Amino acid sequence: MKVAIAQIAPVLLDREATCERIVGAIHEASDGGAKLVCFGETLLPAYPVWLCRTDGARFDDADQKALHAIYLEQAVTIERGDLDPIRDALRERGMWGVLGVAERPLDRGGHTIYCSCVVIDDTGEVRSVHRKLMPTYEERLAWGVGDGAALVAHDMGEFRLGALNCWENWMPLARAALHAQGVDLHVAIWPGCERLTRDITRFIAMESRSYVISASGLIGDSDIPTGLPLRDRMASDGEVLYDGGSCVAGPDGSWVVEPVVGEERIIIADLDPDRVLRERQNFDPSGHYARPDVLRLLVDRRRQAPVTFDEVTGESDAG
């Protein structure tokens, strides 16, 4: 099976313009023969690069509030159809997609952003929306804490697909939850940095005896629109803030595609499911090498909610 990584940049905090870039990448990946295309963490509408560059932790700061308001306005609300152009493109091309979005869901009141990994199948159906379990460091200033509701696997042809956001890939139990579901094609999505992808991609592949796709984004000075608050502090002229690092490792930990740095491009790779079967001969982390009598994992896959309403049904007994 051919798979693709779309190592592209957003138009920072512009959902419509970034969506157009994503749709274009889907068509290009399809023209290359790919049946799956993967995009970086919160590519739509952007990773919050300003937090670490503009004193993002300053409490009650007017500029930080203004940026956050823009982030909320441009974030993705799946329920109102913000992903429809992407879903349509995937359905038209008969492809699956794994996409990182800054999600503004209505089921949590509609005013908090979550770092979410969305899996869309080749009919355009949203199969899962996994909200990052723990935002990393300064990310907690922009994103809420997710849950285990979409720690799920999907059958995709001869592969079983699972995906995690960025540093979730360093969480042993999150990985174990996917291993136990038979995942043999693990997608890790990142904002874009070879330092993040080079070691962990090969490690997950060796640990799980799976193919691992690390999909990263790019962000440079030219991707930050003029007029954004604090733009002059986000990047200097010509600076690259996030430089990619997308790569693919085989189930023995060897490189299928070494990290691609500083280049916006569609990366195509051929994956052979037989390689997974060969490597599972001597190690299967949730099968013949597991000891569930000694070590077990409990995963809560309920979607978290701050309130539960018990609705009254039927006619009132009041006279």
**Taking CA 255 as the corner, what is the angle to CA 252 and CA 259, rounded to the nearest 5 degrees?**
140
Alpha helices in the chain (DSSP H): 15-31, 62-74, 84-93, 172-179, 194-208, 231-234, 273-279
Q: Which of 132, 193, 207, 247 is catalytic?
A: 132
Q: Is 194 a catalytic residue?
A: no
Q: Is 166 a catalytic residue?
A: yes
Best CA proximity match to 92, nearest among 15, 161, 143, 31: 31
**Would you give the DSSP letter of residue 47?**
-
Phi, psi of 204 (to 5 degrees): -60, -40
Q: In this structure, what token pair is assigned to residue 130? A: 């996994």
Q: Which of 19, 166, 193, 247 is catalytic?
A: 166
Best CA proximity match to 109, nearest among 77, 69, 133, 137: 77
How far apart are the C-alpha atoms of 316 and 125, rounded to whole Å? 40
- Residue written as token pair 């990584």: 5
Q: Is 132 a catalytic residue?
A: yes
Q: Which of 19, 35, 41, 194 is catalytic?
A: 41
Neighbours of 137 (CB within 10 A): 10
Phi, psi of 60 (to 5 degrees): 60, 35
Q: DSSP 3-state helix, strand, coil percentages of the chain (rounded to 5)?
A: 30, 25, 45
Residues 6+ apart with CB under 8 A from 123: 91
Q: In this structure, what token pair is assigned to residue 97? A: 């997609």
Q: Which residues are catalytic?
A: 41, 132, 166
